[in-house]
Chains A and B, each alone.
Chain A
């Protein structure tokens, strides 16, 4: 195809070896931080899912309050169903966690970031790669990434569920019975911020941006659609930031509730 006699395949210079580059900057810092950031969250999430029993009490609730950890919400079940084989461990969160995890796994930002940091494909720009063969997202299993919008639908439902949890976080045990007294604790505020941060992440989603208006070539004839699209585009520009903040915040909320449940930390009542 080219007009000179050097073939494109193989190239004039040969392919760079893994890590080979002329770059002089510290290109490995970013993938390293991303790698550690995800590793930290994965380790904590596993710890939280497995250790849901805090001395005979669930770790995801705080007695006397309506707090519920977002990692266990919605609370579909407290224990294994009767038919579940007793030798197999049962974690109720398995029933729900696939949705937010699938959403993040197929998120365009996360994809780009973990292909680099976890799969070194490429580890950084203009740095040699470890593998020769390459399929990208053209074939199975990565064709599954195209299902991102389906996970988005679930993620939007979760925003509503977590908003409901934040509402529940405003109700405490009172003289009239459990969860009958309106109040405000630090935990309530912690729970209110959660769906807000998740919303900033979820509604900046590329698939959402597409569905809300990006799929149309002409937006000027529908002003409402146009403003929605502009709004989503604004969030989308900061998608990476919200991805990180909202992910760590979910971990923080779980930790806060866990520490309260364990009695290590006392929740402060404001009202």
Chain B
């Protein structure tokens, strides 16, 4: 067995420091295994949130060597173990303890977004008929596991702290999922422009880079929404064209 050093951020409510843990590891281990190993041996009071260890619950988000990632999906062989590996909590949300942050802001944001508003059912039994080709696009966004890593890395939230004005990439694709849904009759374009402030996104694609579900957040979600906002508010010629159609 070989040993490696992990610098884990320990502390409460934003006050704390990196603590070095040198531990043995086996090939095939993921970062969450190491954290559990340390927690089970020398740091019984270390707080870490996790659930599925399969990359599906979105609980174990952290920053490993400075990159937002799921601890349970980061294998040790993806890391350079000749140097200490840093493990920190997400920077964008209020800190609770050690690796745990309070992500409840996200749930508040979600409540602001107009809910799914389906058209009248297509059949008397209250069901709808849709083509797979038409739900391919919203389905990509349904893969989201709400790990909030994209929210964590987005510089509008992380560095500019515009939580009150900007809903962040996770909820932009949530909105895209509703807007592109063939059954939905809602219109969230004005809200996108004025309340969700899609204009804050400068399409620098960090959200796409960190998404563990490999959702093309920017290319398939945010940019198409920006184009729909242009249709509605910034395209005088297009508007004229629509009037005469």
Question: Which residues of A does B touch, CB under 8 Å?
Answer: 1-13, 15-16, 21-25, 108, 111-112, 115-116, 121-122, 125-126, 128-129, 132, 134-139, 142-143, 146-150, 206-207, 209-210, 214-215, 217-220, 226, 236-237
> What are the residues of chain A within 8 A of B197 when measuring CB–CB?
136, 138
The answer to whether B161 touches A23 (Cβ under 8 A) is no
A15 contacts which chain B residues (CB < 8 A)? Answer: 159, 161
A65 to B181: give the CA distance in the assembly, Å.
55
Which of B22-30, B32-40, B41-49, B90-98 forms part of the interface with chain A?
B90-98
The answer to whether A4 touches B227 (Cβ under 8 A) is no
Taking a contact as CB atoms closer than 8 A, the residue among B163, B202, B224 that contacts A121 in the complex is B202
CA distance A236 to B227 in the complex (A): 15
**Given A111-B202, A218-B134: A134 and B91 within 8 A (CB)?**
no
Which of these, B94, B164, B234, contacts A146 with CB under 8 Å? B234
Judged by a CB distance under 8 angstroms, whether B204 is at the interface is yes
CA distance A83 to B13 in the complex (A): 70
Question: With an 8 A cutoff between CB atoms, is B228 at the interface?
Answer: yes
A8, A129, A138, A236: the one within 8 Å of B163 (CB): A8
> B116 in the interface, Cβ–Cβ < 8 Å?
no
Shortest Cβ distance from residue A236 to the other chain B in the assembled complex, whole angstroms: 7
Q: Is the CB of A146 within 8 A of B230?
A: yes
List chain B residues, Cβ under 8 A from A132.
Answer: 160
Residues of B within 8 A of A (CB): 13-14, 63, 65-68, 80, 83, 86, 88, 91-96, 101-102, 104-105, 108, 131, 133-134, 153, 155-156, 158-164, 179-182, 184, 197, 199-206, 209-210, 218-219, 223-224, 226-231, 234-235, 237-238
Partner of B205, one of A112, A139, A220, A236: A112
B92 & A126 in contact (Cβ 8 Å cutoff): no
- Given A134-B160, A217-B180, A218-B182, A6 contacting B95 (CB threshold 8 A): yes
Task: Please judge, given known A-B contacts A138-B197, A215-B227, whether A108 and B91 are in contact too, CB under 8 Å.
Answer: no
Q: B192: shortest Cβ distance to chain A, in Å?
A: 12
Q: How far is the CA of A263 from the CA of B174 in the complex (A)?
A: 60
Whether B159 and A214, one on each chain, are in contact in the complex, defined by CB atoms closer than 8 angstroms, is: no
Contact A137 B94 (CB under 8 A): no
Cα-based distance from A148 to B231 in the complex (angstroms): 12
Q: Which residues of B contact A5 (CB under 8 A)?
A: 13
Q: Which of A125, A129, A134 has the most CB of B within 10 A?
A: A125
Flag if B133 contacts A219 (CB, 8 Å).
yes
Chain A residues with CB under 8 A of B182: 217-218
A206 with B227: CB separation less than 8 A? yes
Using known A-B contacts A22-B63, A137-B202, determine if residue A215 contacts B209 with beta carbons closer than 8 Å.
no
Our pick among A122, A126, A134, A149 for the contact of B66 (Cβ within 8 Å) is A126
Give min CB distance, B196 to chain A, whole Å.
11
A219 engages B134 (CB within 8 Å):
yes
* A137–B80 CA distance with the chains assembled, in angstroms: 38
Q: Are B199 and A136 in contact (CB under 8 A)?
A: yes
Contact B202 A128 (CB under 8 A): no
Residues B163 and A210 in contact, CB atoms below 8 Å apart:
no
Supply 12 further A-B pairs (C-beta < 8 A) apart from A112-B202, A214-B224: A2-B94, A9-B161, A13-B95, A22-B63, A112-B204, A116-B204, A125-B67, A125-B206, A126-B66, A210-B228, A215-B231, A217-B182
Contact partners of B204 in chain A: CB under 8 A: 112, 115-116, 121-122, 125
Separation in Å of the A131 CB from the closest CB of chain B?
9
How many angstroms from the CA of A178 to the CA of B92 in the assembled complex? 68
Bound together, the chains give a CA A132 to CA B161 distance in angstroms of: 10
Scoring B93, B164, B203 by chain A CB atoms within 10 A of each residue's CB, the highest score goes to B203
Query: Whole-angstrom distance between the alpha carbons of A24 and B202 in the complex?
Result: 25
